[in-house]
Every structure is written in C-alpha cells, then in structure tokens.
Structure 1
Amino acid sequence: MGMISYDMEVTYSIPAAKMFKAFVLDADNLIPKILSQTIKSFEIIQGNGGVGTVKVISFGEGSQFKSVKHQVDGLDKENFLYSYSIIEGDALMGVLEKISYEIKIEASFDGGSVCKNSSKYHTKGDVRITEDQIKGGKEKALGMFKVAEAYLLANPDAYN
C-alpha cells in the first residue's frame, strides 16, 4: 500500500472555538444546510458521534459521487482537533483503501483562527496517485471551509 499526503493551512476571521463548534461538532446539520447542492445528508449508522462513530454522507445532485462512509478517528474538543477517515464509497475511486484527515483549528493573534488540515490518501496495492489527481479534493475542502466562514459571518449569533 502506498500513500500520498498533503497539508493545507488556511486563516479565517472566525474565532477558533466558533469555527470548531460549527464546522466539526455541528457539521452534520450545518454542512447540508449551507452546501445542499453538494452534500445532502449525514446519517450516523454506528456510534454516538464520538470516536468510532460511522456516518454515511450522501451527496447531492451537484456532486460526482453518490455516498461515502466516514469514520471518526479522534475528537479533542478542548484542543479543537478532529480526525476522521473515508473508509468506503465511490470517492475512493476503486484505487484507495481510505483517506485520512486531521483538522486542527488554532486561535490566531487577530482573534480569528488558523485551520491546519492534513490529508493522507492510502492507495491499494502498487497504485500510484499524483497530487494533481487529488487537487480537486483539496479545492473542495477549502471551498467548504470558506462557505462555513461566510455563513458564520452572515450569522454572527450562530454558534456562540
């Protein structure tokens, strides 16, 4: 099995605690609401939301994928750290065992936050993928965070 990884760091004007609460802790409700064309729903099929929880994410008509299974690998609410893996679904394109993500949201000096996102693509067998092949996923992840930031700016009383 091979692996390709990338790290991404993005700054936001939203405080770290608020961004974590909205984008991680309430993602199952918020994301389908603000990205309804892309993500239709999250459904917990095992667990209670904590480590070990498995969710099915169903994508909307605007997505190239139908669904994925998402497993919560780690959740540290005090340090705004969240890790999860995509373990099944057409987003794995038949060549990936899984995709693992770790999100760390830190306070920035100006009252906003810095989101550090680390992704690891685990390939099946000797399959090789390039960064160009995962570029679309990086752009979509960035877009989701930006949409969440825009929602929180437009709704300043949400997630206080």
Structure 2
Amino acid sequence: MGVLTYNEELTSSVAPSRIFKASIIDSHNLMPKLLPDAIKNIEFIEGDGAPGSIRKINYAGGFVKHRIDELDEKTFTYKYTLIEGNGISDKIEKVSYDIKLEAAPDGSTISKTAMSIHTKGNFEINEEELKVGKEKVLGLFKVVEAYLINNPDAYV
C-alpha cells in the first residue's frame, strides 16, 4: 500500500466560524441548494453528524460515503474519510481529509487541507487526476465563500 499526501491552503475574506458552519456543519442542507445540478442530496445514513457518523452524498453520476472522524466546532477542525463510492476503486483503499480553518489577524480565514490517498499495491495517482480533485475542492470552497459574501447574515 502506498500513501500519497498533498496539502492545500486557501484564503477567504469570510470569518472561519461562518465558513465552518456553512461548509461543514450545515453542508447537508446548503450544498444541494447551492449546487442543485451537481449534488442531489446529502443524508446521514448512520449517526447525526458527530464523529463516527456516515453520510452519503448523492450527486449527478454517483455517490460517495464519508465517515466523520473528528469534528471540533471550537478549533474549526474537521477530519473525514471517503470510504465508499466514486473515488474508491480496486486500486484505492480510502481517501482521508484533514481540514483546519484558522483566523488570520484581520479576521479572514486561512483554510488548510491535507488529503491522503491510500492506494492498494503499487498503484500511483497521476498528476492530472490529482489536479482535477484539487480544482473540485477549490470550486466548492469558492461557491460557499460567494454565498456567504452575498448573504452576510447567513451562518453568523
């Protein structure tokens, strides 16, 4: 088994508490509203959103299941593992995400994400596949950010 890890750092003018509430705590409600053509629904199939819960994201073209490993609303830390669905194959065992939102001195947000892809055997991810994944994460972040900027009373 191999492990490929990459780190991504994004910034936003929106406060970390608002981004955390919108993109993590209430994502099961907000994301299908913001991206109705891409995300059909998000449902908890085990638990209620606390660590150990499993949520299923149904989207146009498939689904994924995430296990919530850690969720801390005080430190804006969220860790989860993709355990089933599109993105998991006979060559990939699991994909783990570690997200930490930090407040910058001006009140804006620095979002730090570490992603670890656990492959089976000697399988290697090519750079183009990794780039596509990074672009999707950036796209989701920007959609939530734009919503929060345009709705300053949301998730305060």
Q: CA deviation at 1:126?
A: 1.9
C-alpha distance in structure 1 between counterparts of 2:49 and 2:135, whole Å = 26
Contact kept, 8 Å, 1:85 with 1:98, in 2: the verdict is yes
CA-atom RMSD, angstroms? Answer: 1.1
Partner secondary structure for residue 107 of structure 2: coil
Give 2:46's aligned residue.
Answer: 46
Q: CA deviation at 1:131?
A: 3.1
Partner secondary structure for residue 5 of structure 1: strand
Matches within 5 A, 1:8-157: 8-60=8-60, 65-157=61-153
Question: Aligned pair count?
Answer: 156
CA displacement 1:130-159 (0-9 Å, x = unmatched):
333221111000100000000001111100
Q: CA deviation at 1:93?
A: 3.8
The one-letter code matched in structure 1 to 2:74 is E
Q: CA deviation at 1:71?
A: 0.6
Could you tell me which runs of 5 or more consecutive residues in structure 1 were left unpaired when the two chains were aligned.
none
C-alpha distance in structure 2 between counterparts of 1:81 and 1:118, whole Å = 12
Q: CA deviation at 1:94?
A: 3.2
Q: CA deviation at 1:32?
A: 1.0
Q: How high is the sequence identity, in percent, across the aligned residues?
A: 46
TM-score with structure 1 length normalisation?
A: 0.93
The one-letter code matched in structure 2 to 1:82 is Y
TM-score with structure 2 length normalisation?
A: 0.96
Contact kept, 8 Å, 1:7 with 1:118, in 2: the verdict is yes
Could you tell me which runs of 5 or more consecutive residues in structure 2 were left unpaired when the two chains were aligned.
none
Q: CA deviation at 1:67?
A: 0.4
Moved over 3 A (4+): none
